[in-house]
Amino acid sequence: MNILFEEDGTFRAGTMLADNNTSLQVELPGGKRSKVKLANILLRFSAPAAGELLYPAQALANEIDVDFLWEVCGEEEFGFEELAAEYHGEKKPSALQATSVLLRLHSAPMYFHRKGRGRYRKAPQEILHAALAGLEKKRLALEAVERMADALVGGTLPAEFTPLLSQLLYAPDRNKLETKALESACARSGKSPVRLLADCGAITSTHEYQLGRFLFEYFPESRGGTSGGTGFADIDLNALADLEHLPVAEAKAFSIDDAATTEIDDAFSVTRLDGGWRIGIHIAAPGLGFTPASALGQIARTRLSTVYMPGRKITMLPEQVIDRYTLLAGRCVPALSLYLELADDFRVLSHQSVIERVSIAANLRHHDLEPVFNDETLSTGLSEFPYKMELKLLWEFAQVLQAGRGETGQSGNRKDYNFEVDWQSRSDVAGINEAGVVQIVERQRGSPLDTLVAELMIFANATWGAALRDAGVSGLYRVQSAGKVRMSTVAAAHEGLGVDCYAWTSSPLRRYCDLMNQWQLIALLSEQPPPFGQKGAPKTSETNVMLLAAMRDFDLTYAAYAEFQRGMERYWCLRWLLQSSRTSVTARVLKEELVRVDEIPLVLRMPSLPGTTIAPRGARVQISIDGIDLLEAQIRARFVELLTTQAEAVDDLADEEGEDEIADQMSDATADVDQIGAAQENELPAETRSITALEAEGDAPAAE
């Protein structure tokens, strides 16, 4: 006697050897013996042989029309032998006939729902139709994936990809058919997704691709394209407060900025007094024009900072609003002013904070001043130029302030780099003709102009931070202890700057924390309740919660923006190498496998670099550039030769004494005014300033 039974979801046939009441001893066609429970037995038969049942039955089952089988079934539950008898027209179907029906029922779970071993019930019509529709949809989806993958491998971008390009490039959704097609095409072609899409014409600009990654995350409204969504809704300028009633300052002020600066936050004035001087530090005051709860206040709260990158920027406030409050020459603009009464020996006798309007007489620019106002001309004698006397006085006062903070005023041989992009020109870069030719201009860090502006800003930020602290008005402070710089709502010392209290207040047009502190200062000077937390208020109060939330969001966002700027500077360094047709460059060893290119602020990891016994820190080396990939922002380079001896390397390194300490001061990515002279927060606008001090000490991401 042979039996058909089910074991682990599989049908098997065997010859019965012994009947043990509750189980049978069975020999399978291959000779293996097995113990089968009675409950698992579906059919007993004498013919055909056990090894000749399943294969012929499967062939017969394949000929059965499952739709017809479903039609002839009744609505009630049935056994497979019953249906086999009806289907084959036999009162007692053969083992082959019964098994073929069983196999067909089992292979069509959408048509027949299993109710027990060998027992089934036909699926209701609506459920069957829904299941069949889903199956058809899946089949069509698989065909679409295959079609799109074929197109991608062939170098053609499927039409379905166009509206999803940003998502496919930066945050692919693996549930989407387009992502599955892209993954399939990448596996078949051996290319990365970005390279494959570029080869299909989806990426026409490597710059827009790099920018698009940042916009996709931080400006989600741009996801319809790679560079849109950074504008503002229509702004009602009539909603801004009328400030014509403010008193007008007697002194005429002037600003000192880079040529590209449009968000002019700070300006200065100098007035001669009997036995001394009156110096004014004037900060643009958008906080007078709108409140935190206003539409503009919410825009600033959302953006938190202006985003800077070589050749472009995304402003925190709309251009019309910036134009209303920027300290532009020839206008009388609202300002928060700090006046210092100085003795002839530059001792600060008193200071006073005033809300007023200030007449801006001039916007002085670095490129005009630096040739006539620098270390050399200050030592040999200044020639005649506008604001000569005022600048010299402010420089002498800045040196006194610097010494008062315990600084020597020596910047060593450290450098900054300005990135200037000419978008009107095009460069054939790596076979892609794109707009933008970059110039990277080296600039010595810690010039007299840098120190002048930086020291006055440090003084203003420390003074106004202390004013908030002493009045019990909450503010956002920069605190440094044990080398770590952080944001805090509690006033504490900034060890790197040598001040006991420091709050960012001098850039309200481009940083939200400065704008928040300005609102607090305005409330203090106007004797009004501050819009944010106040001393003595419960920590859970709404205004305190708002302050803490803004601090957290600003800290994270500002660091991310700075990281993005560093990434874009790296990209433009690579483009500079390409447009300059450089195949080799000289570099200085930073440590172990890290080198820094001499002409530009680019740090590379060089596995081929000899050990430190041959190429010690500070040694200059020649490296060969074997390839640059602008899409991945990667460079392949290798060591060629050592250009300096160890003794010469030590001498060279001595020129940069103190750079380690400065990198430590810049432990956060914001690179604020911490003890570094020229790379201060206000004197070099971020639209042209390179944030590379961390990279200079090898803390940058590894370069390929």
Domain boundaries, the chain: 2-123, 127-224, 237-556, 558-696
Check residue 411 and give its pLDDT.
Answer: 54
Beta-carbon contacts of 587 under 8 Å, excluding residues fewer than 6 positions away, are 595, 596, 597, 598, 604, 620, 621, 623
Higher pLDDT, 415 or 180: 180
Higher pLDDT, 7 or 428: 7
Check residue 676 and give its pLDDT.
Answer: 29
What is the arithmetic mean of pLDDT over 417-425?
89
Taking the C-alpha atoms of residue 418 and residue 689, their distance in angstroms, rounded to an integer, is 5
What is the arithmetic mean of pLDDT over 616-639?
89
Rounded to the nearest integer, the mean pLDDT of the chain is 85
How sure is the predictor about 660, in pLDDT bands with cuts at 50, 70 and 90? very low
Check residue 536 and give its pLDDT.
Answer: 61
What is the arithmetic mean of pLDDT over 201-208?
89
Residues pairing with 112 in the sheet: 122
Are 87 and 69 contacting, i.e. CB atoms less than 8 angstroms apart?
A: yes
Q: Are strands 348-365 and 248-257 parallel, antiparallel or unpaired?
A: parallel
**Lowest pLDDT segment from 469-478, 499-508, 591-600:** 591-600
Q: Residue 170: is its pLDDT beyond 80?
A: yes
Instruction: Quote the pTM value.
Output: 0.78
What is the arithmetic mean of pLDDT over 538-561?
85
Angle at 584 between CA 581 and CA 588, to 5 degrees: 130
Q: Residue 650: is its pLDDT beyond 50?
A: no
Beta-carbon contacts of 284 under 8 Å, excluding residues fewer than 6 positions away, are 264, 265, 266, 325, 326, 327, 333, 334, 335, 508, 509
Its sign, for the CA torsion 66, 72, 76, 77, is: negative
Check residue 667 and give its pLDDT.
Answer: 29
How sure is the predictor about 688, in pLDDT bands with cuts at 50, 70 and 90? very low
Higher pLDDT, 91 or 542: 91
Are 151 and 202 contacting, i.e. CB atoms less than 8 angstroms apart?
A: no
How sure is the predictor about 658, in pLDDT bands with cuts at 50, 70 and 90? very low
Check residue 225 and give its pLDDT.
Answer: 45
Check residue 558 and give its pLDDT.
Answer: 93
Q: Where are the alpha helices (DSSP H) in 89-222?
A: 95-106, 125-153, 165-170, 177-189, 193-199, 206-218
Are 682 and 454 contacting, i.e. CB atoms less than 8 angstroms apart?
A: yes
Tokens 């290119």 — which residue? 597
Express as a percent the part of the chain with pLDDT over 90: 55
How sure is the predictor about 452, in pLDDT bands with cuts at 50, 70 and 90? very high
Higher pLDDT, 148 or 592: 148
Minimal CA–CA distance to 70: which of 96, 44, 42, 109? 109
Q: Residue 476: is its pLDDT beyond 70?
A: yes
Check residue 686 and give its pLDDT.
Answer: 35
- Cα dihedral 558→563→565→570 (10° resolution): 170
How sure is the predictor about 654, in pLDDT bands with cuts at 50, 70 and 90? very low
The backbone torsions φ and ψ at residue 484, rounded to the nearest 5 degrees and listed phi first, read -100, 125
Check residue 689 and give its pLDDT.
Answer: 36
Q: Residue 301: is its pLDDT beyond 90?
A: yes
Are 49 and 28 contacting, i.e. CB atoms less than 8 angstroms apart?
A: no
Taking the C-alpha atoms of residue 460 and residue 454, their distance in angstroms, rounded to an integer, is 10
Q: Residue 518: is its pLDDT beyond 50?
A: yes
Minimal CA–CA distance to 553: which of 246, 303, 231, 238? 303
How sure is the predictor about 432, in pLDDT bands with cuts at 50, 70 and 90? low
**Lowest pLDDT segment from 264-278, 531-545, 684-698:** 684-698
Q: Kindly state the DSSP code that residue 171 receives in the 8-state scheme.
A: S
The backbone torsions φ and ψ at residue 354, rounded to the nearest 5 degrees and listed phi first, read -140, 140
